[in-house]
Chain A
Amino acid sequence: MKVALSSKPAGTAGIGMLQRSLLVIVRGARGTTMAMLGLAIMLLIWQGVVRLLDVPIYLVPAPTDVLVALYNDRALLAQNSVPTLTEAALGFLLGNTVAVLVAISFVYNRTVEDLFYPVAILIKTIPIIAIAPVLKIMLGNGIEPKVLIAALICFFPTLVNAVQGFRAVNPQLIELMHVLSATKTQVFRRVRFYAALPYAFAALKVSVTMCVLGAIVGEWIGANSGIGYLILQSMYVFDTPRLFATIIVASFMAIAGFALVAWLEARVIHWDPGENT
């Protein structure tokens, strides 16, 4: 005890955290290198097979063909990324905001949860692609149906995780708050909110990639711009290299979103959520 008391808390923690971070970086760097190597091997095999068997470019383009398309069509791809990104981002914000608000209402009121949780699950079971045409009829050809589809996709994972997170509080901490006569809102702001953050971020990392998918599906059912639109156009004219290029752009959007959320998570959650203090 004496030894622990005499050491400076900031110093010991600094060392511990540095070691942990280094470990992560070292492992991470190795992991990244191996993943890149794996990808390179796959691409080489792909390139080799396409060239050796002389596969026509409209059937399967070689990776180099895709790279060329990516470069030549860069303006077109960038231009069409804007609406898709906008729809995905708005859908992400809308779906997650509503999900968190609904989760809060569930935590505050059990009756509301009993009434509407089953409805939420019911919505979840409907394939989004099946709802898309309905939304198009209801909302027209504008940005609205795309945003709504992206929002719907984001909604469910965040709702489930937020509800779970708000409840993932040490029961003794709830007892302590009770002994302190804390109000429901105080318990929420001081405890439940923070307890839910790691759960919320797990859901956000899923939904940030899903919202891109939602926006693209939305564009498929009626749009004259966007990555989804470009995918359909490229398919109709058998411009397969460009089709592959759009896939890469869409995938890059999802990865960038994921990285952004992960970065934000590391900023916000400065404690170890798994640790029981």
Chain B
Amino acid sequence: MWQLDSPTLISVITIIVATVGIVIGCIVPAIMEGIAVQKALDGITRQPDAANDLRTTLLISMALLESTAIYSLLVILVLIFANPILDRFF
């Protein structure tokens, strides 16, 4: 089983790393966004007058938080579709 040539080995390792990476890279920002939404909803229920300010701030901070997940997605897309190490063999 371990008699793989190096392109196959690199492909297998790439797929495993991509899966683990996207799982971790999605879980952490999702938890953080959940906490942010929870706090904002707490604030809105306590003070409905401040809902507009809170919504703007919440959207901006959600976008900033979400961008970390997007970064990991981009790295993994590069790994899968345009792998720089795998390109040396072809």
B partners with A = no
